[in-house]
């Protein structure tokens, strides 16, 4: 039994500490544990071949992820779009990162590119499914997170606008993964062209209601200012390079042209630093969180809703999504019990009514029978009485007549006797 | 799911690479930490102990604040639990602390069921979390975790050994929660007695197979201090929110005629050790253990109870969808069966009632027939009487006419005679 103090809302009181407690050390504890666990991140790069994807990855992570032995996607010519992953382990400052780069050789390279996003979607979904299955097991061990945390989409630097393929791809993937569009090979655009291009792209993105990755607002005003600055630069125009050149005595990564060096890490030349800082140094964790809390949950709820609401019409599913499938079944069971009770009650009612009707009918015919019987009895009795009366009358009449007859007979006898007497007396001659 | 369309290469295996410069992902732990600081932390602590043993005082002392305390009586009929939640802040770290105290523990005459409300409470928190985790639309990252992260078990300072209630309770709880036994009111035990007492307690725990929480040794930075502390278990603590002047400082202490017991003096009691271990060093580990060990165990048992398995009878892995599907089919079939059964019952009743009514109808019919016959008989009798009467009537009228005729004749004769005479 749990007792809560008598307040309307479970009161969560604020308490000020009057001395050292020590839980301010919690962040350190979390830090320690996370370092011990190590980190993992899956980055997907998508774009037509030749846009500098591998070079950019190598530049971002300052390592030869793609090299002669492990060629980049444009080197691996495929007939159809493939989705392939390479896993690398990198360490820095005591922090271990298992980085998975997923690339799509063949993307956008065919003559007919319709549906070339399908293998990508399938890949992302299959990773979600793996995670869902691992999460749903009865015996759960470590659940490796192989879900795609971020998708860098490379836009060809045409300078005009997005291609239909770009729009189609981003539209289909923005609900499944954090999409960060990049202008590739930005060193072919002058700053003004780049500005216009960016404006055009953002306009088209808004028009088509494409949801690209959004930086979350923080509580810190300073941070928010920075974030707003970054947002204004979207989509980021990047340049990558595998080569280190010397500029003004410094060794920098860059692309050497007869007319100068386009420096990768120079903020005035391109937005590479912005991308790197954002992707790796400040928002990597947030990308993972959004993937886990938004994209994965979307996938999961759709998948589970399909399982539980099989055959149930979709108008009812709104309220059912807040329950687990089992609670769902429990509720359905209860509903069914109620339905059956109602049905039973109705059937009972109909039954009772019919029985009553029938019984009433029987009663009526019984009453009718009684009535007729009574009537006939009375009829007969009346007839009896009548008959009795008649007989009585008859008997009376008969008795009277017989009495009369007897008198007459007597008279006759007396008369004949008198005659006899008279005869004898000679009165009659 | 067209997973066959995806070219799943065999995992190339993770290859280590070296970096040519500072990339910057070493900030990842900081990013994670910043996130948790923004979200705030959450910790739930359960205190089990007899009434008056000093649970609330110790909590106040540990967290340096005055929690709302209710003094309980010794006459509670059953063990209850009282939970209170507080928002605390230390420097930039916000902590949502829930303190759960037992009320009336150890007061009843029959203490057999004393542990049950505690077990129920712990299970209920697990259940709530599990339900949220199983929902279709869920929000785990917003979820206020109410699962018990640490359980302080207060041992009476008898100086001898554990009570059987202690052993029974701890045994029931050791697979559900991190148990940290503490010796309460340690200022009533002398140092030598205390040493013997601790050894006795630990050996009793071991011999009874009670698994208490061990401070983790896997992280090198804290392994050493944790090992040392593990050797001091169980901590003998004294709590006090009153301050006494010692030297030139005000310290938390208990003032006796024979001296002052200073709470934060490690020579006097293990309070500082407890605070260090529980809060400063291992709070996060306690939460992690609760989530990865105790909660997983609960979840596993619950799911198995409900009939979920990871593999089907042929030992092939079964996905969640398949399990749900199967359950759903089962469920629908059961519903259908119930419905059919009900209909059956009804059909039976209808048949029976029909037969009854038919019987009644037949009875009525035969009565009717009987009455008809009676009536017919009576009518026949009446008819017979009528016939007799008619016969009598007709024979009488015959007699009458015959007699009249005779009379008429004789009158006629007499009249003639008289006529003749008169002549």
Give the pLDDT of residue A8. Answer: 37
pLDDT tens by residue, B140-198: 888 889 999 999 999 999 878 888 889 999 999 999 999 999 999 988 888 888 989 99
pLDDT tens by residue, A124-136: 999 999 898 888 8
Q: Of A62, A63, A60, A67, which Cα lies nearest the Cα of A43?
A: A60
On the question of pLDDT at B10 being above 80, the answer is no
Give the pLDDT mean for A96-112.
Answer: 88
On the question of pLDDT at B11 being above 70, the answer is no
How high is the mean pLDDT of chain A? 84
B284 contacts A30? CB cut-off 8 A:
yes
Give the pLDDT of residue B315. Answer: 54
Give the pLDDT of residue A18. Answer: 65
Going by pLDDT thresholds of 50, 70 and 90, the confidence category of residue A316 is very low
Residues from chain A that touch B15, judged by Cβ atoms under 8 A, are 87-89
- Chain centroid to CA B274: 34
Share of chain A above pLDDT 70, in %: 90
Share of chain A above pLDDT 90, in %: 30
Give the pLDDT of residue B169. Answer: 92
B136 contacts A305? CB cut-off 8 A:
yes
Instruction: Annotate B91-106 with DSSP letters as a single string.
Output: TTEEEEEEEEEEESTT
Going by pLDDT thresholds of 50, 70 and 90, the confidence category of residue B418 is low
Examine the predicted complex and report whether its ipTM is higher than 0.95.
no
Give the pLDDT of residue B419. Answer: 66
B62 contacts A21? CB cut-off 8 A:
yes
In whole angstroms, what is the distance from residue A196 CA to residue A183 CA?
12
Q: Which of the residue ranges A391-405, B240-254, B313-327 would you say has the lowest mean pLDDT? A: B313-327
- Taking a C-beta distance cutoff of 8 angstroms, is the pair A42, A144 a contact? no
Question: What order of strands is seen across the sheet that includes strand A244-247?
Answer: A244-247, A250-257, A260-263
On the question of pLDDT at B421 being above 90, the answer is no
Residue B63 burial class via C-beta count within 10 angstroms: exposed 0-12, middle 13-18, buried 19 and up = buried
Give the pLDDT of residue B314. Answer: 56
What dotted CATH number matches A27-238+270-309? Answer: 3.40.50.300
Q: Residue length, chain B?
A: 423
Give the pLDDT mean for A322-339.
Answer: 74
- Any idea which residue has 């505690």 for tokens? B118
Give the pLDDT of residue B2. Answer: 33
Give the pLDDT mean for B395-410.
Answer: 81
Give the pLDDT of residue B41. Answer: 92
Give the pLDDT of residue A426. Answer: 67
Give the pLDDT mean for A213-218.
Answer: 81
Share of chain B above pLDDT 70, in %: 91
pLDDT tens by residue, B29-53: 999 999 889 888 999 999 999 988 9
A23 contacts B88? CB cut-off 8 A:
yes
Going by pLDDT thresholds of 50, 70 and 90, the confidence category of residue A7 is very low
Domain ranges in chain A? 27-238+270-309
Task: Please give the biggest Cα pair distance in chain A.
Answer: 211
On the question of pLDDT at A36 being above 80, the answer is yes
pLDDT tens by residue, A233-261: 889 999 988 888 888 888 888 999 999 89
Residues from chain B that touch A83, judged by Cβ atoms under 8 A, are 6-7
B243 half-sphere exposure, CB direction, 13 A CA radius: 9
In whole angstroms, what is the distance from residue A299 CA to residue A258 CA?
51
Give the pLDDT of residue A248. Answer: 86
Residue A128 burial class via C-beta count within 10 angstroms: exposed 0-12, middle 13-18, buried 19 and up = buried
Residues from chain A that touch B16, judged by Cβ atoms under 8 A, are 88-91
Paired residues of A13 in beta bridges: B86
Q: Which of the residue ranges A32-46, B245-259, B273-287, B322-336 would you say has the lowest mean pLDDT? A: B322-336
Residues from chain A that touch B29, judged by Cβ atoms under 8 A, are 31, 34-35, 95
On the question of pLDDT at A204 being above 50, the answer is yes
Give the pLDDT of residue B123. Answer: 94
- Number of Cβ within a 10 Å radius of residue B335: 18
| A contact test, residue of B1, B3, B6, B385 with most A CBs within 10 A | B6
Q: How far is CA A146 from CA A134, A408, B168, in A?
A: 11, 146, 44
Give the pLDDT of residue B198. Answer: 92
Question: What tokens were used for A416?
Answer: 């004949």
Residue of chain A nearest B378, judged by CA positions: A380
| A contact test, residue of B63, B128, B304, B320 with most A CBs within 10 A | B320
Residues from chain B that touch A40, judged by Cβ atoms under 8 A, are none
Going by pLDDT thresholds of 50, 70 and 90, the confidence category of residue B71 is confident
Rounded to two decimals, what is the model's pTM? Answer: 0.73
pLDDT tens by residue, A54-65: 899 999 988 888
Q: How far is CA B37 from CA A196, B140, B152, B286, in A?
A: 40, 17, 26, 18
The SS3 assignment for A89 reads: strand
Give the pLDDT mean for A46-61.
Answer: 89
The CA-based dihedral angle spanning residues A356, A358, A363, A364, taken in that order and rounded to the nearest 10 degrees: 110
- Any idea which residue has 């008169």 for tokens? B422
On the question of pLDDT at B316 being above 80, the answer is no
Give the pLDDT of residue B242. Answer: 86
Q: Which of the residue ranges A17-31, A319-333, B289-303 would you say has the lowest mean pLDDT? A: A319-333
- Any idea which residue has 């001659």 for tokens? A429
């Amino acid at each position: 039994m749990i007792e809560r103090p008598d307040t309307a809302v479970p009161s969560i009181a604020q308490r000020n500490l009057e001395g050292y407690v020590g839980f301010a050390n919690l962040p350190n504890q979390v830090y320690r544990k996370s370092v011990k666990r190590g980190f993992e991140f899956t980055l997907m790069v998508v774009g037509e071949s030749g846009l500098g994807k591998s070079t950019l990855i190598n530049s971002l992570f300052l390592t030869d992820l793609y090299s002669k032995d492990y060629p980049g996607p444009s080197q691996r010519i495929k007939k159809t779009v493939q989705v392939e992953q390479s896993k690398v382990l990198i360490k820095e400052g005591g922090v271990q990162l298992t980085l998975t780069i997923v690339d799509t050789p063949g993307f956008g390279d065919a003559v007919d590119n319709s549906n070339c996003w399908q293998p990508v979607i399938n890949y992302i979904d299959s990773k979600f499914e793996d995670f869902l299955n691992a999460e749903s097991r009865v015996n759960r061990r470590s659940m490796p997170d192989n879900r795609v945390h971020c998708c860098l989409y490379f836009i060809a630097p045409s300078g005009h606008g997005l291609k239909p393929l770009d729009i189609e791809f981003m539209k289909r993937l923005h609900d499944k993964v954090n999409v960060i569009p990049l202008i590739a090979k930005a060193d072919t655009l002058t700053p003004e062209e780049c500005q216009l291009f960016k404006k055009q792209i953002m306009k088209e993105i808004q028009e088509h209601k494409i949801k690209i990755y959004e930086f979350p607002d923080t509580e810190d005003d300073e941070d928010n200012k920075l974030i707003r600055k970054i947002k204004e630069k979207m989509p980021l125009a990047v340049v990558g390079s595998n080569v280190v050149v010397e500029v003004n005595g410094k060794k920098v990564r860059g692309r050497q042209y007869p007319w100068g060096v386009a420096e990768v890490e120079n903020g005035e030349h391109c937005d590479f630093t912005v991308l790197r800082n954002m992707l790796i140094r400040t928002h990597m964790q947030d990308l993972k969180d959004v993937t886990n809390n938004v994209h994965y949950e979307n996938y999961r709820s759709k998948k589970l809703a399909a399982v539980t609401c099989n055959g149930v019409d979709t108008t009812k599913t709104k309220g059912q999504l807040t329950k687990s499938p089992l609670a769902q079944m429990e509720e359905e069971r209860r509903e069914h019990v109620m339905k059956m009770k109602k049905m039973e009650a109705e059937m009972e009612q109909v039954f009772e009514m019919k029985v009553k009707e029938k019984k009433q009918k029987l009663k009526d015919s019984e009453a009718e029978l009684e009535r007729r019987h009574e009537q006939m009895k009375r009829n007969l009795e009346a007839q009896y009485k009548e008959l009795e009366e008649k007989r009585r009358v008859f008997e009376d009449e008969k008795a009277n007549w017989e009495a009369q007859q007897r008198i007459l007979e007597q008279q006759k006898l007396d008369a004949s006797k008198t005659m006899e007497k008279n005869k004898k007396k000679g009165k009659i001659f | 799911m067209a997973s066959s369309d995806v070219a799943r290469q065999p995992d190339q295996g993770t290859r280590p690479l070296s970096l040519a410069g500072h990339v910057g992902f070493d900030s990842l732990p900081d990013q994670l930490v910043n996130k948790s600081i923004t979200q705030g932390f959450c910790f739930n602590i359960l205190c089990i102990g007899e009434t008056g043993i000093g649970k609330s005082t110790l909590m106040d002392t540990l967290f340096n604040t005055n929690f709302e305390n209710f003094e309980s009586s010794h006459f509670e009929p059953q063990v209850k639990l009282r939970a209170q939640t507080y928002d605390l802040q230390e420097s930039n770290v916000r902590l949502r602390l829930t303190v759960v105290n037992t009320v009336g523990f150890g007061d009843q005459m029959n203490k057999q069921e004393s542990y049950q409300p505690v077990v129920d409470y712990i299970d209920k928190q697990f259940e709530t979390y599990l339900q949220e985790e199983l929902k279709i639309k869920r929000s785990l990252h917003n979820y206020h975790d109410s699962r018990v992260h640490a359980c302080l078990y207060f041992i009476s300072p008898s100086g001898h050994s554990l009570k059987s209630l202690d052993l029974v309770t701890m045994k029931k709880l050791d697979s559900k929660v991190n148990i940290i036994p503490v010796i309460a009111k340690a200022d009533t035990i002398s140092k030598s007695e205390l040493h013997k007492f601790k050894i006795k307690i630990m050996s009793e725990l071991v011999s009874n197979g009670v698994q208490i929480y061990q401070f983790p040794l896997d992280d090198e930075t804290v392994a050493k201090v944790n090992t040392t502390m593990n050797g001091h278990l169980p901590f003998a603590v004294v709590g006090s929110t009153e301050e006494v002047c010692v030297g030139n400082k005000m310290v938390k202490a208990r003032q006796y005629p024979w001296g002052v017991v200073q709470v934060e003096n490690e020579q006097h009691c293990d309070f500082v050790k407890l605070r260090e271990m529980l809060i400063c060093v291992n709070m996060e580990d306690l939460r992690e253990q609760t989530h990865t060990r105790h909660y997983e165990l609960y979840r596993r048992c619950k799911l198995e109870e409900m009939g979920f398995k990871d593999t089907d009878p042929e030992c092939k892995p079964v996905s969640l969808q398949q399990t749900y599907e199967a359950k759903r089919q089962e469920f629908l079939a059961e519903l259908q069966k119930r419905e059919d059964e009900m209909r059956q019952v009804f059909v039976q009743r209808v048949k029976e009632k029909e037969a009854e009514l038919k019987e009644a109808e037949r009875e009525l019919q035969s009565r009717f027939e009987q009455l008809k016959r009676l009536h017919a008989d009576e009518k026949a009798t009446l008819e017979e009487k009528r016939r007799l009467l008619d016969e009598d009537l007709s024979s009488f009228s015959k007699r009458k006419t015959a007699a009249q005729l005779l009379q008429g004749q004789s009158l006629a004769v007499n009249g003639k005679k008289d006529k003749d005479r008169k002549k």
